[in-house]
A and B are shown apart, each in its own frame.
Chain A
Amino acid sequence: MATLTARLLAQLQAEGLLPPAQAAAIATDERTRPFSLHYELRAMLYLGITLLAGGAGVLVYQHLDSIGHGVIIAGISLLMSASFAYASRQRAPFSWGEVPRASIAADYLLVLSCLLFLVLEGYLQAQYGLFGQRYGLATVLPAGLFFYLAYRFDHRGVLSLAITTLAAWVGVSVAPLALFTGGFPSEALSGPGLLLGLALLAAGLAAELLRRKPHFAYTYLLLGGNVALLAALVRLFDAAGFDTGQPELLRALLVALLVLGICAGLVWYARRAQSYIFLLLAVGYGYVAFTSSLVLLAELVGIREEFLQLGMLYFTLSLLGLLLLLFNIKKILRLA
């Protein structure tokens, strides 16, 4: 590293682009600048709270009947209270805008106290049947609490925790990689999933447009867009079997149009926020929905065979179109 800097500085001096004194100042700065351990420490904090909450969650159940179990519960409660107290003490006054981060430690301890709250709540339900048969209440309650904390502490990590908990109440997973770990959601859950996704998308749009915590829009739109599009595709493929009647086909076409509408919204936000990830999300889902709606249309007017024969041509041409889009992605996002 040091040698590269020396080499670059020497070249710039030789080209007359940098006076020697300034080059020396840069060389000194590069040599004496303290080595930042910021991201390494953050990773350690994150790994620490994940291991701790995961371990505590198992520990609670393993020792349900043993003598030491009161100690474990007391320990977890104490840790939760202490973490929350520390986070509260560092809390900045409330604002609808983005609050500058006061303390990294407080950020992570707040997440830890939320995770430990879930552990304790699960324990109370398992041991004492706190919520009886009303299991829904056991997930809605923490979701509400986490939403409040996310806004009060201006914490996007707690916000995604709140959304995850809310989704668990509905019965779906909003985790971005859920498709790869849990497969497609079942058809029975696709309806609630779609509604939840649309609600989250609406919350994200409202946050952005009403300027109420606009930086929360990213989390809302990414998690909401993912779950809504996934659920809609499940409904689409379910309805678009080959031997279905016209009403089902029309309904599938409507779902495909809904997907395209959501994608258009995501493109709008991607251009507004200049974000690659939303554009790619919209292009990926939009491509699938557009192709499906073409097949559906062909099916409706009865030219499916002819359309499928043109498949290779469509594949090649659409791939080329995709390439064109990728080459112009900076222009689309107004970055260039």
Chain B
Amino acid sequence: MSFQAYPLACATDEALRAAAARWQRRGLLTPAQRAAIEAAHPGQYVRPGIWVRVALLAVTLLGLGAGLVLAVLLTAGRLPATVYGALLLLGTVAALEFAIKSSAHYRSGVDNALLYVAIATWGFLANEISESLVAGPHVLTLWLVLMLVVLLAALLRYADPLVAAASLGTALWLLATTLLYSAVGQLLLPFGLLAAAGALLWALGRLPAYAYYTYYRGAALVLRALGLAVLYLAGNYLMVREGNAALLGGGGVSGQVPLAALFYVFTAVMPLLYIGLGLRRADRLLLTVGLLALAFSLYTLRYYHSLLPPEVAATLGGLLLLAGALGALRYLRTPRHGLTSAADAEASPHFNLENVIIAQTAHVPAAPEVGFEFGGGHSGGGGAEGRF
């Protein structure tokens, strides 16, 4: 019996079928070959479309809630809360294993809901345990340790993306609480987070060599996106300065932080590094996180220096973005440097939705009056000014 809960074929079949469809679209496979691949990898598990999964998740959560209420009513609420918690934990884990083993659910929404409720129940029980064992600030630390152990075990067994995100959040929280025990640790907090994110990304980079890579790919993708975001945010000047001010307490205006120049450079360079590496390695995740980081860096700049009035910044930024995109479209019409402006055959066009977004965001005058201002609303000015 393997430690992984789902049959490995679930993940492999899903990846193979998606790849076969892509290769056929690109004319690299004959339809007969694709049919043969799909016949050999039928992917026989319960995994409906996204809407049905969301509905199943909601209904399972409702059902578990109703079941808990029923159990409390039947026993007239005379048992201690921990007993109800333990029963719920045992029940959900048993149901989860049963749903996977006998009904072949593969992240259908039902098994997701059972797993999340089991972990949330453990969170409650772990809190009870921590409070009975230790006191003061150690309660939180012990609770985080207990949570992290269970989350990591669940991640290894079920490879759920949300559990992966929760594991990372808990681990970083634990790291921060540990560092904040001492004054030196508080100063080292950004560097601790940087080191943790760097270590995570390095470990994820080695994952593809691991035999079970396909099984953990979804979780790894989430971890990588969050790791990249933490790596950037931990050294972002705004986060460091405001975070430091929040930790010192007192409210009011935040003061300058030590090593400010280092964080300035980091804020400026990291997004460009992400974007450059993303383009060079054809890594869409890196590119997307880099673009978002660039927007946040510009926001950081405008947060401390109001260089231009918002409407001027929006107009100039819009012009620059427009000119840049138009130039890139023209330049990349014939592929250069391994880049192209043509659509990938594998990406399905969301043209209809895009046009509805225009209706959602367009500023249309409603019976204009003298002095009435329409077209406003971009006062944040988080857009690009092409600085740095």
A binds B: yes
A residues with a Cβ closer than 8 A to B are 1, 3-5, 7-8, 11-12, 15, 17-18, 22, 25-26, 29, 32, 34-42, 44-62, 104-105, 108, 111-112, 115, 118-119, 121-122, 125-126, 129, 135-136, 138-139, 156-157, 159-161, 163-165, 167-168, 171, 174-177, 218-219, 222-223, 276, 280, 319, 322-323, 326-327, 329-330
Instruction: Tell whether, in the assembled complex, residue A52 and residue B359 are in contact, meaning their CB atoms are under 8 Å apart.
Output: no
Q: Say yes or no: A52 contacts B339, CB within 8 Å.
A: no
Contact pick for A29, options B26, B56, B357, B368, CB 8 Å: B26
B214 close to chain A: CB less than 8 A = yes
User: Complex: how many Å from CA A49 to CA B283?
Assistant: 27
Contact, CB under 8 Å: A48 / B318: yes
- A34, A126, A135, A330: which contacts B335 (Cβ < 8 A)? A34
Q: Is B75's CB within 8 Å of the partner chain A?
A: no
Q: A38-B342, A56-B315, A119-B375 in contact; A139/B364 too (CB < 8 A)?
A: yes
Contact A57 B338 (CB under 8 A): no
Nearest chain B CB to A132's CB is how many angstroms away?
11
Q: Does B366 contact A (CB under 8 A)?
A: yes
Is B367 part of the binding interface, using a Cβ–Cβ cutoff of 8 Å? yes
Instruction: Answer whether residue B260 sits at the interface, using C-beta atoms and an 8 A cutoff.
Output: no
Of residues B33, B40, B316, B364, which shows the largest number of chain A Cβ atoms within 10 Å of its Cβ?
A: B364
A122 touching B368, Cβ below 8 Å: yes
Are A49 and B359 in contact (CB-based, < 8 A)?
no
Name 21 A/B residue pairs within 8 A (Cβ), A-sorted: A35-B340, A37-B339, A38-B341, A41-B329, A44-B325, A50-B361, A51-B318, A54-B378, A55-B310, A57-B375, A62-B311, A126-B370, A129-B370, A160-B356, A168-B365, A168-B367, A177-B360, A219-B359, A276-B49, A326-B55, A329-B49
Task: Name the residue of chain B whose CB is nearest to the CB of A15.
Answer: B40
Of A34, A57, A156, the residue contacting B373 (CB under 8 A) is A57
B279 at the interface (CB under 8 A from A): yes
- Is the CB–CB distance between A156 and B351 below 8 Å? yes
List 18 extra interface pairs beyond A7-B208, A51-B315, A219-B359, CB under 8 A: A26-B28, A48-B318, A49-B318, A49-B322, A51-B314, A52-B318, A52-B319, A54-B377, A59-B311, A108-B322, A122-B365, A135-B367, A139-B365, A139-B367, A157-B358, A164-B364, A326-B52, A327-B52
**Residues B364 and A37 in contact, CB atoms below 8 Å apart:** no
Choose one: A29, A219, A329; the contact of B356 (CB below 8 Å).
A219
In the complex, what distance in Å separates the CA atom of A32 from the CA atom of B383? Answer: 34
**Inter-chain contact B347/A38, CB cutoff 8 Å:** yes
Taking a contact as CB atoms closer than 8 A, the residue among A11, A36, A37, A174 that contacts B16 in the complex is: A11
- Complex formed: what's the CA distance from A163 to B209 in Å? 54
Asked if B312 lies at the interface with its beta carbon under 8 angstroms from chain A, I say yes
Most chain A CB inside 10 Å of its own CB: which residue of B208, B347, B362? B362
Enumerate B307-333 residues with CB–CB distance to A below 8 Å.
309-326, 328-330, 332
Q: Do A17 and B52 have beta carbons less than 8 Å apart?
A: no
Contact of A135 among B37, B342, B354, B368 (CB under 8 A): B368
Shortest CB–CB separation between residue B60 and chain A, in angstroms?
10
Q: Is the CB of B338 within 8 A of A35?
A: yes
In the bound complex, how far is the Cα of B332 from the Cα of A191, in angstroms? 51
Q: Is the CB of A55 within 8 A of B368?
A: no
A222-B359 Cα distance, complex, nearest whole Å = 11
CB-nearest residue of chain A to B367: A135
Q: Which residues of B contact A111 (CB under 8 A)?
A: 358
In the complex, the answer to whether B314 meets A329 with C-beta atoms within 8 Å is no
Pair B341/A319 contact, Cβ less than 8 Å: no
User: Which residue of A55, A111, A223 has the most chain B CB atoms within 10 A of its CB atom?
Assistant: A55
Q: Which B residues are CB-close (under 8 A) to A45?
A: 321-322, 325-326, 329
Smallest CB separation, A281 vs chain B (Å): 12
Task: Flag whether B343 is at the interface (Cβ < 8 A).
Answer: yes
Interchain CA distance A176-B359 in the complex, whole Å:
8
Given the known inter-chain contacts A38-B347, A176-B360, please indicate yes or no for A54 contacting B368, CB distance below 8 A: no
Q: Is the CB of A59 within 8 A of B312?
A: yes
**0 or 1 for each of B371-388: is its CB under 8 Å from A? (1 = yes):** 111111110000100000
Task: Give the residues in chain B near A35, CB-CB below 8 Å.
Answer: 279, 282, 284, 338-340
Which A residues lie within 8 Å of B29 (CB)?
A: 22, 26
Partner of B313, one of A29, A55, A322, A329: A55
Q: Are B369 and A51 in contact (CB under 8 A)?
A: no
Residues of B within 8 A of A18 (CB): 33, 37
